[in-house]
Amino acid sequence: MESLILYRNLTHQRLFDDMAALLGFVPEAHMSGIGTPLPAAHAPEPFSCANQLIELAADYGFEGNLWHCFLAFCLAEHENAYSTACEIRGDVGGTLSRLAGHDFAVFKGLFDCDITVLDRTDGGAETEPAGRADRTGGIWRELADFRPSGDGGHIFNQRVRDRIIELSVTLGQAAGVEQFQAAVAQFYQEYGVGKYGLNKAFRVEDEGPVAKTVPIVNVEHVYLDDIVGYQAQKQKLIENTEAFLAGRAANNVLLFGDAGTGKSSCIKAILNKYYDRGLRIIEVYKHQFHALSSILEQVQDRNYRFIIYMDDLSFEESELEYKYLKAIIEGGLGRKPKNVLIYATSNRRHLIREKFSDKRELDDELHSNDTVQEKLSLVARFGVTIYFGRPDKKEFQNIVKVLASRYQVVMPEEELLAEANKWELSHGGLSGRTAVQFITYLLGTRQVE
């Protein structure tokens, strides 16, 4: 195992090493002699390894041969010179490809190991004492054909989970190292590698010396059809996003307007709609704007399209982070990567708080127009602005009727609308959010079909 060149420092390296040792792949430095198993005091514990494989299966939704799923998962998430190059261009050939082939020969050997033999071995011994039952009670046979009790894990998108399981089956059936390598390279080119390949949304952590992106495990499953009305606004957002994904010119987007009108939901829906085409979202808060330069450097060479998502963006008069954001979007010496756009939502048209007293203060300034332009210049950096206004009474009632039908609420229409009108008067007024909350209330208190 120590001969691996590219696939080192795996996320689950300890489990990888322990399983390899159980199956006979023991580094010479840890052997008591050539071909001699580890001393019992240092041997990996089979039950502990089995437990870790089962826990990973529960988290990620793996099924079938859990050993093969684990190895495929290790290959799918490991970012190295070869895997990231394949993500962009497929198998790159040359020296890098040959070095990867050396590592894949090791992985092929691991795939060829039958974990059911662990039901009858003990730290390398070939047989159990006569008359004894299987030492592990047959658990490795169960793990070689694992069937989960639920619908899948809670970390990966189902499509990605299914593809990793499919990859594990393909690699387990590979006739040789070349076929093995071709399957892995195709996976990298098709789905990517590492956290950006296996997740759709991320948040920023900048507590350490270098800011980093961390996957958001449970992304809300919102789709554009779930947002009733606002067809023109959704279409404008779709057109800009599709141009971005196609590599054509596209603008940063500001969605502004009244609260509860679906601005944030539209961004989530865009992610869910275009995730399969390589769209990823990184959520950034305004106190993290100083980390944006570092994040942009990390994603600029990846084979994905990234949206930097800023929700509920607004600034008070004393907050100066907007000056930094202006330079990041447009105006700094460095160019914003071509695979990055900024989508922001706000309840304020001009993002920066404005007061009537500002007018009196401007009258006393020598260059008042300069101050106005300073406040407006941030919005000007968003090439597309989309307004989301509150629905009128008729539009609100239509939203309620559509949602009631979608969720099969049993109530006469006249009563439904009357109750909806009473609800909105005491729960935030006319908005899509109010309509959703009203239907949620009915689902919790009334009968549904």
Write the DSSP string, 48-59.
HHHHHHHHHHHH
As a whole number of angstroms, the distance between CA 42 and CA 116 comes to 22
| Residue 151: per-residue pLDDT | 64
Q: With contact defined as beta carbons under 8 Å apart, do 226 and 305 qualify?
A: no
Of the ranges 227-231, 239-243, 366-370, which one carries the lowest mean pLDDT score? 366-370
**pLDDT, tens digit (0-9, with 9 covering 90-100), for 178-207:** 999 999 999 998 888 888 888 889 999 887
Predicted TM-score (pTM) of the model is 0.77
| Residue 351: per-residue pLDDT | 61
> If you search the block for the tokens 């198993």, which residue do you land on?
37
Residue 11 CA: distances (Å) to CA of 58, 77, 112, 347: 17, 8, 22, 42
**pLDDT, tens digit (0-9, with 9 covering 90-100), for 264-307:** 999 999 999 998 888 999 999 888 888 888 898 889 888 899 99
As a whole number of angstroms, the distance between CA 134 and CA 39 comes to 21
In terms of average pLDDT, the best of 77-91, 133-147, 233-247 is 233-247
| Residue 32: per-residue pLDDT | 37
| Residue 162: per-residue pLDDT | 87
Sign of CA pseudo-dihedral 279, 284, 289, 294: negative
Strand pairing of 340-346 and 305-310? parallel
Strand pairing of 253-257 and 384-388? parallel
Per-chain mean pLDDT for the chain: 82
| Residue 355: per-residue pLDDT | 54
Tokens of 258: 């009244």
**What band does 313 get if pLDDT is binned at 50, 70 and 90?**
confident
In this predicted structure, the answer to whether residue 331 has a pLDDT above a threshold of 60 is no
Q: With contact defined as beta carbons under 8 Å apart, do 416 and 401 qualify?
A: yes
Query: How do the domains of the chain map onto residue ranges?
Result: 13-198, 201-223+232-388, 393-445
As a whole number of angstroms, the distance between CA 277 and CA 435 comes to 32
In this predicted structure, the answer to whether residue 153 has a pLDDT above a threshold of 80 is no
Alpha helices for 5-65 (secondary structure H): 13-22, 46-60
Q: Domain 201-223+232-388, what fold?
A: Rossmann fold (3.40.50)
Identify any residues that bridge with 146 across adjacent strands, giving them in sequence order.
64
**pLDDT, tens digit (0-9, with 9 covering 90-100), for 11-33:** 999 999 999 998 887 654 343 33
As a whole number of angstroms, the distance between CA 230 and CA 215 comes to 30
Of the ranges 221-225, 259-263, 313-317, 353-357, which one carries the lowest mean pLDDT score? 353-357
Task: Taking residues 246-266, report their average pLDDT.
Answer: 90
In this predicted structure, the answer to whether residue 333 has a pLDDT above a threshold of 60 is no
- Cα-only R_g, the chain: 28
> If you search the block for the tokens 């439904």, which residue do you land on?
416
In terms of average pLDDT, the best of 64-68, 203-207, 412-416 is 64-68
DSSP assignment, residue 176?
Answer: S
In this predicted structure, the answer to whether residue 433 has a pLDDT above a threshold of 50 is yes
What HEC string does 180-229 produce? Answer: HHHHHHHHHHHHCCHHHHHCCEEEEECCCCCCEEEECCCCCCCCHHHCCC
As a whole number of angstroms, the distance between CA 358 and CA 200 comes to 42
Tokens of 298: 């990390």
Task: Taking residues 222-249, report their average pLDDT.
Answer: 92
DSSP assignment, residue 378?
Answer: H
In this predicted structure, the answer to whether residue 110 has a pLDDT above a threshold of 90 is yes
